[in-house]
Amino acid sequence: MKFYLRLALRNIKKNKKLYSSYFISTIFSIALYFIIKTVGNSPTLKGQDSITMFLNLGGYVIALFSLIFLFYTNSFVIKNRKKEISLYHILGMEKRNVRSMMLLETIVIALISLVSGIVIGMLLSQITSVIILRIIHKSIHFSLIFSIDAFIKTIIIFSIIFFLSLIYNISVVVRSNPIELLKGQNIGEKEPKTKIFLTLLGIIALSAGYYIALSITDPMQAMVLFFVAVILVMIGTYCLFTAGSIALLKFLKSRRNFYYQPTHFTSISGLLYRMKQNAVGLANICILCTCVLVTLSSTICLYNGIQDSIKRQYYMDGTITVTDSDYPNQVYEDVKGLLKNKKYDSLYALSYYNYTGSLKKNKVHLNDYDYNHLASINLISLEDYNHYFNQNLSLNNNEVYLYSYEGYNNPTISLENIPYTIKGQIKNRQLQANNCFAPNNISIVINQSALNNYKLKSKSYFIGFNASKKVVEEVTTAIIHKDYNYLGNKYYLSIQNSYEDIDVIYELYGSLLFIGIFLSMMFLVAAIVIIYNKQISEGFEDQNKFEILQNVGMSQKEVKQTIQFQVLIFFFVPLIVAIIHLAFAYPLILRILKGLQCNDNVYLISTTSCIAGLIIIYTIVYLMTSKAYYRIVKR
């Protein structure tokens, strides 16, 4: 056993270039999972239901992605070790001995990865919890975090992943004969055939996904069809990278003036002969980059738009709305009484009719659920406005006063196809009354006689006041527990504490931002590892080819140009396609985000910033890996 242990340790040390990316992948995945589970169990987040829910969900996503990601990295290692393991067979080592050696290698790798990942996770858990608390605007408490539950789950999850990887490695090696193992690194070197059906399927799937993204205008429908579009785009990406790339390279090969140049000849022929094994890797990089861009830009947009969303929705600290009641004034008197001996800034009331409708240019339609022009519409009688705000305004039957949070620049407005002249715009935001969640918010002050032309809903009675968090909580709690049976049989009482609602918004959007950052980091690291593995693997495979080319007269400069051309294609084609995917998804994502009160400009800035950041990181990785590839090939 000691012999096999020494052999396992020597193999890991000897293949450190192969195992370096595997160790980075395993340690990073373990640390990420341990952090998210530790923070989810942290006492500092006790009572933060939204964030713990998202952290648990993120834990499942990371565990599943780790399984796929580590399987890929493991398969890269075992593929490049096939020749080495075949030599053990040829030298007389039996299959059971190889199994023992591989078992010990897996145990050593698992122990190093688990210990390193958990230690790193422990060190970063405290920082991560502080970051979360800062994001959701909670007070920061410093305490050493160690979760037994997170520790046990991390050990179990990744032990299963290492065990499954071992089973795969043994099945690959033991079921193959030494000759097959010696040829393992050359699999996929035959020129692939053009797959017309797969290419057409990719074009159709991608076109269908793009069409959905561009054609859907309803935000609610967009949320449902977003995942359908994602699946179609993923299918199209894999098909086009697998079959379409081969068709494109063969087309370039048929262009004699382009193909028969030293740089293009060697690059295109090299890409074509190994595209069968590289296409899936390129598609994976493309999809991972798309995931990074979509996830990060969306969550950053939501979080950065919080202040604008709060400013739009909440302008009163405490709000109470009474509907279908014969005695709404009694609620106002109760609120006034509760505030009597407390410090508060303002208290007011207003009667109005509230509708969810649409505002298209200067045309207002009640009960019209057009999500592209959705509006919260308040109809207020002139008599009520004068009464509640102690005014003495007058209107003709064809005139109205208007309040609009967004601003309104038209001198007329049409209400259910009846035109009115706007006599003046009222700037008093108290006319907004309800907390508005629609993109547009308007209030129309109109004569009661003109109001009678419409089918009116039940009148709502709104009470709003501004006070400290403690006072608002005391008043709203008292109103909630008060017996109001005498208000009527069908009355509806709605009570909102803006302090609590704002805390919930920060917690919800902060959780999404945190998970978005975590998942984006994992997707990005996975893409970088795939790129690194491909470059190192192909560097060893291309070493002999470039030696032959140099022996037949290709200069060092031409070799370098060929390498740069080939590496540029492998690097930047997936990135370019990912940006194209995001460009087509942009309108669909924007409609979803607008339904969540996100501003167009905020999303545009978030998206362009994420694209710029990814390009910078991608370029740095390109420069590093292309140098490593060139050093291997040059030897």
The Cα–Cα gap between 412 and 422 comes to: 5
Better-scored residue on pLDDT, 132 or 364: 364
Please, what is the average pLDDT of the chain? 79
Give the span between the Cα atoms of 465 and 483, in whole angstroms.
21
pLDDT higher than threshold 50 for residue 210:
yes
The share of the chain scoring above pLDDT 70, in percent, equals 78
Residues 127-159: tens digit of each pLDDT = 887 777 777 777 666 555 678 888 999 999 999
Residue 583 has pLDDT above 70, yes or no: yes
Residue 71 pLDDT more than 80?
yes
Q: How confident is the model at residue 111 (pLDDT cuts 50, 70, 90)?
A: very high
Please say whether the beta carbons of 597 and 313 come within 8 A. yes
Where is average pLDDT lowest: 95-99, 299-303, 365-369, 397-401?
A: 95-99
At 92, is the pLDDT very low, low, confident or very high (cuts 50, 70, 90)? low
- In this prediction, residues 96-106 reach a mean pLDDT of 81
Q: What pLDDT shows up at residue 188?
A: 45
Q: What is the DSSP string of 434-503?
A: S---SSEEEEEEE-HHHHTTS-----EEEEEEEE-HHHHHHHHHHHHTS--GGG-SS-EEEEEEHHHHHH
- Tell which residue, 105, 110, 55, 57, has the closest CA to residue 85: 105
Q: What is the pLDDT of residue 451?
A: 87
Range 405-419 average pLDDT: 87
The three-state secondary structure class of 381 is strand
Does residue 104 carry a pLDDT above 70?
Answer: yes
Range with the poorest average pLDDT among 284-288, 433-437, 531-535, 585-589: 433-437
Q: Check pLDDT > 70 for residue 425.
A: yes
Closest alpha carbon to 172 in 190, 187, 160, 157: 187
Provide the pLDDT for residue 50: 67
Top mean-pLDDT range of 188-192, 370-374, 540-544: 370-374
Distance CA 115, CA 123 (A): 12
Phi, psi of 146 (to 5 degrees): -145, 120
Residue 331, pLDDT > 90, answer no
DSSP H stretches of helix in 255-367: 256-259, 262-304, 306-313, 329-339
Q: 72 to each of 21, 75, 161, 235, 368, how far by Cα in Å?
A: 11, 5, 12, 19, 51
Residue 163 — very low, low, confident or very high, per pLDDT cuts 50/70/90?
A: very high
Least confident of 279-288, 358-367, 610-619: 279-288
| pTM of the shown model | 0.73
**Mean pLDDT, range 295-304, rounded to an integer:** 85
Give the span between the Cα atoms of 121 and 147, in whole angstroms: 11
Token readout for 367 is 């009960």
pLDDT tens digits for range 476-488: 888 888 776 666 6
Confidence check: pLDDT of 162 > 70: yes
Encoded amino acid at 177, one letter: N
Amino acid at 218: D
For 314-341, what is the mean pLDDT? 82
* Residue bearing the bigger pLDDT, 571 or 201: 201
Top mean-pLDDT range of 65-79, 89-103, 428-442:
65-79
Residues 97-106 have a mean pLDDT of 82
Q: What is the pLDDT of residue 274?
A: 61
Q: What is the phi-psi region of residue 287: left when phi exceeds 0, alpha when psi lies from -120 to 50, beta otherwise?
A: alpha
Separation CA 90–CA 405 (nearest Å): 80
For the cut 70, the answer to whether the pLDDT of residue 73 exceeds it is: yes
Q: Which of 252-256, 268-272, 579-583, 590-594 has the lowest mean pLDDT?
A: 268-272
Share of residues in the chain with pLDDT > 90 (%) = 9
